[in-house]
Amino acid sequence: MKILITAGPTHEPIDPVRFIGNHSSGKMGIAIAEEFAKAENEVVLIKGATNLNPINPSIKQIKVRTAAEMFDACAQYFSSADVIVFAAAVADYTPKFPSATKIKKKEDEFSIELIKTKDIAAELGKQKTDKQIIVGFALETNNEEAHAKEKLERKNFDFIVLNSMRDEGAGFQSNTNKITIIDREGNTTKFDLKEKIEVAKDIVGYVQKIINKK
């Protein structure tokens, strides 16, 4: 199969030395890419601003920095992919007028006008065919399952992988993760805290479960 995976954060430039970003390491997305590649699938990994790299040399890496660059790269490969996993932590907003030169410290207060970035998963989810499987991620801090289910429907995912920031050992930077998978049929499956490579096996296994039903 042809697999498209996004991983890591995006960095939205304020000026040449500063950016808006988040704490995503890209570890989860890279682990999923490794697991799919291990099964001899053709994997394209669109990787945001992280220094981590997959080990498997067969994984095609496309490095991007901003949300706009990630959208363009995803759009290029989306239609030919059988499975798409949106694991990247894409910035929701980007500076409207990034400075071409370093902004100097002057005033006591400083404001930046922000505009929404394009919602990659939602936009490409509109193009989804019956033959494609799309997996999304939701990292939440409150009303976790309600927010995840809303995102599942709005972005046309086959299932969503929910993380809670309230779970110790889960989320950004950690080598472990604790997930709940919610699918379009209303099934909710909770998993124990595991190493991310083991979590990747659970996610890939759930994809295979859906494929077997088709």
Q: Tell me whether residue 199 is in a domain.
A: yes
- pLDDT at residue 108, rounded to an integer: 86
- Whose tokens are 């805290």? That residue is 193
53-87: pLDDT as tens digits: 999 999 999 999 999 999 999 999 999 999 999 99
Supply the CATH number for residue 150's domain.
3.40.50.10300
The reply to whether 22 belongs to the active site is: yes
Residue 104: inside a domain, yes or no? Answer: no
pTM for the whole structure:
0.94
Element (H, E) at 95: strand 93-95
Could you tell me if residue 105 is inside a domain? no
* 184 belongs to a structural domain: yes
User: Is 24 inside a domain boundary?
Assistant: yes
Q: Alpha-carbon dihedral of residues 212, 57, 162, 181, nearest 10 degrees?
A: 20
From 22, 41, 56, 156, active-site residue: 22
Total number of domains constituting the chain: 1
* Within-domain flag for 207: yes
Question: Per-residue pLDDT tens for 114-173?
Answer: 999 999 999 999 999 999 999 999 988 788 899 999 999 999 999 999 987 776 666 666
How is residue 32 written in tokens?
């999923």
**Residue 178 and residue 189 in contact, taking contact as beta carbons nearer than 8 Å:** no
**For residues 23 and 29, is the Cβ–Cβ distance under 8 A?**
no
Identify the helix (H) or strand (E) that includes residue 29.
Answer: helix 27-38
Which pLDDT band, with edges at 50, 70 and 90, does 27 fall under? Answer: very high
CA–CA separation, 178 and 194 (whole Å): 6
Residue 107 lies in a domain: no
Q: Do the Cβ atoms of 30 and 7 come closer than 8 Å?
A: yes
Is 106 within a domain? Answer: no
Domain residues for the domain of 148 are 2-98+112-213
Measured in degrees and rounded to the nearest 5, phi and psi for residue 114 equal -115, 150
Q: What would the mean pLDDT of 193-206 be, rounded to a whole number?
A: 95
Which two tokens mark 108? 């006591």
